[in-house]
A and B are shown apart, each in its own frame.
Chain A
């Protein structure tokens, strides 16, 4: 209901399609062809009954099933999201560990500043700066587009930057909590090498909240690709939704929001199940 009503708040799609010399009968005919002549409750019923069967209707602009349109672009967004998440985990977790182990030192301060910058620098600024430095000045990466692995680097970095900072902070605080535990102190007393204490004993438990947050962040990341996709001309769902909103293509907007919402719900459920599997202490007896 929310998706259906919100998408109609953007306005009448015919206002963008009909030329100034169009007569009333032209408007009426077009409205009928697009199925917009029916009362809103009938349109809603059609949408709902179709959505249950996986039929989200036909795109007003592209005249194709909206699910087909969505699936054309979703793999690109998935690819970008996966690369961004991989980057954020590959940088964020080690940085968080080092920050926690060297707490109070310049390394820890660097990690904190990195986390602060990561969560305060705007994505659009970062993306444009990366293009100026690595593409225009240094000429080592392409500016934009999709196709080669080189074209994935800057958008993945830009998209993953915020989450890298978040992962760093979460890993650091989680590690600090674990490193303060009794069993870690016991391991040190027993003479276990420090590297084993950190990587084998502490990290396993510290990663629990990090992994579950990463799973949730992945969905958030997938739904937040609009700016990155626009800057880097990446043909994903983010750009598709923006284009659909501007052209008042309700069925496409509805489909994208519906699927994004469903993805979020199912991911939450999956994370709950995963957490129970990973942490025996919280399994239901």
Chain B
């Protein structure tokens, strides 16, 4: 009997030890992530893809980003929230002892190109230098050349990027689609002339090109071995087709010939929403629309030089009605070039608000109760659709105030060429893209030929210059805040709205996490097909 009593505690001890071991072991073993397996194929109908370059470094305009964003991956990536995050670079920092001229980028090891070869620091250096060359004609090339002087290999997982002067913009400079890292060995074997075709492109991108017929379609397939598991595409095959006419794209969505369409605006949005089989995807606040008082640039006297007049005209516009009637709610009243997600955003700044009585009072104070005549110029621009209707509405509101408007709407290429030449009088409308890093100095700093500003002020110019040189992000945010406050309080422009970009989606699409604040059809890896 005593032997049986000794055996039970030993068994109990053994079982307890086993259980404890299993419990501890479970914490040591990482649970394996379920690997995304791309499935299905979809068709996306787009208004245009510009020149349709397959090689991201040949991108000359944002309109080609449905292709160029998908065909390669840079060191630094802008995520869905518009923030710069590590991608092929694990991290970056200012290098000590370089007078703030050097930036160190640590590169991921083990990332593979489509042909299975491993990406190295030589590929990184080569790709960035290629994107910087003027011969490559990459749209982001000038920005790179302004902010990057040279690139050096430090060791087999580190590169150093040196700028000509201390600047905070080096991570931005290496984040564009044209900075996609390509295989140097493959490029040197193929040559520049042959490179950049469907057959010869070699990057680490989340999609691979399959077929390309210009002005017809571009087909790409998911790279199931994309190095970032969260960004392996959910859809196996995507066909981009170019359909310039909106009503045709809508018809394609309704018949199922297209699964996603771009360019949904105004009444088209309500047509899509009225169909139970269809839905919309939105990227909020993708552009900022405002009216620049062009007379501020010119020496001649003008009623617009009186801030009370500018404020009166701001109060005369019923922005909420414009948003409701023209955009069917898919826009937000603006306070300027500043967005809620911008560095330096000041939440205390509120839109001027529709107040026609106050507008009349301000005009009377300025001695203009009898009204005056003003030019209002603008362009048809894809970044702010229906802006011609907005300008017609503004002309109507100002007309009620006794301000006679000469409305002039031009094609965008012609319009912006004249804008840069400061050829306009009265008001000139401007559509500015989303600006998460608040790099407004690029737009406003006086002194270069390509500047878009009609306003120059000593205080603002000093702030803009300071912002360009400040490396500390929190101090830069403070400067940006002051810039925005100055812009708003001095009515450097009359803000109207931030438009949302809307896509229509068919029943084959379960969901799409769009890239917020970006109007282009990108982030295709986040499209989830229906089961």
Contact = CB atoms under 8 A, between A and B. Distances in A.
Interface of A: 10-12, 15-24, 26-27, 29-30, 33, 61-62, 72-73, 128, 131-132, 135-136, 139, 142-146, 230-233, 235, 239-240, 243, 246-248
B382 to A, nearest CB: 11
A143 B257 contact: yes
- With most chain B CB atoms within 10 A of its CB, the pick from A10, A15, A139, A235 is A15
B51 A131 contact: no
Contact of A15 (B135, B213, B252, B420): B420
Contacts of B243: 144, 233
A231 to B, nearest CB: 5
Given A11-B417, A233-B242, A233-B245, A136 B215 contact: no
Classify the secondary structure of B's interface with A. mixed
A20 B247 contact: no
B448 A30 contact: no
A72 B216 CA distance: 12
Contact of B254 (A20, A136, A142): A136
12 contacts: A12-B417, A18-B142, A19-B139, A21-B146, A61-B51, A62-B51, A62-B214, A135-B251, A136-B254, A143-B251, A235-B242, A247-B50
- With most chain B CB atoms within 10 A of its CB, the pick from A19, A20, A143, A248 is A143
Given A144-B243, A233-B241, A233-B242, A132 B413 contact: no
Contact of B142 (A10, A11, A21, A61): A21
Given A26-B134, A62-B51, A142-B257, A10 B242 contact: no
Contacts, number: 114
Nearest to B134: A29
Contact of B413 (A20, A21, A248): A248
B433 to A, nearest CB: 10
Interface in B414-441: 414, 416-417, 420
B415 to A, nearest CB: 10
Contacts of B442: 20-21
B259 to A, nearest CB: 14
Nearest to A32: B134
Contact of B134 (A30, A72, A128, A243): A30
A8 to B, nearest CB: 12
B337 to A, nearest CB: 13
Interface string B492-505: 00000000000000
A247 B53 CA distance: 15
Given A18-B450, A23-B142, A135-B255, A73 B416 contact: no
A12 B247 CA distance: 31
B218 to A, nearest CB: 13
B245 A235 contact: no
B452 interface: yes
A249 to B, nearest CB: 9
Contacts of B451: 20
B149 interface: no
A15 B416 contact: yes
A233 B248 contact: yes
Nearest to A242: B244
Contact of A17 (B60, B241, B252): B60
B251 A132 contact: yes
B271 to A, nearest CB: 11
Contacts of B519: none
A231 B250 CA distance: 12
Contact of B255 (A24, A26, A143): A143
Given A17-B60, A20-B442, A21-B442, A33 B251 contact: no
Nearest to B213: A235
Interface string B136-155: 01011111011000000000
A246 B255 contact: no
A22 B215 contact: no
Given A20-B450, A233-B245, A30 B137 contact: yes
B443 interface: yes
B449 A21 contact: no
Contacts of A10: 413-414
B413 A15 contact: yes
Contacts of A11: 413-414, 417
Nearest to A24: B449
Interface in B123-173: 134-135, 137, 139-143, 145-146
Contacts of B60: 17, 61
B61 interface: yes
B215 A139 contact: no
A239 B449 CA distance: 33
Interface in B243-274: 243-245, 247-248, 251-252, 254-255, 257
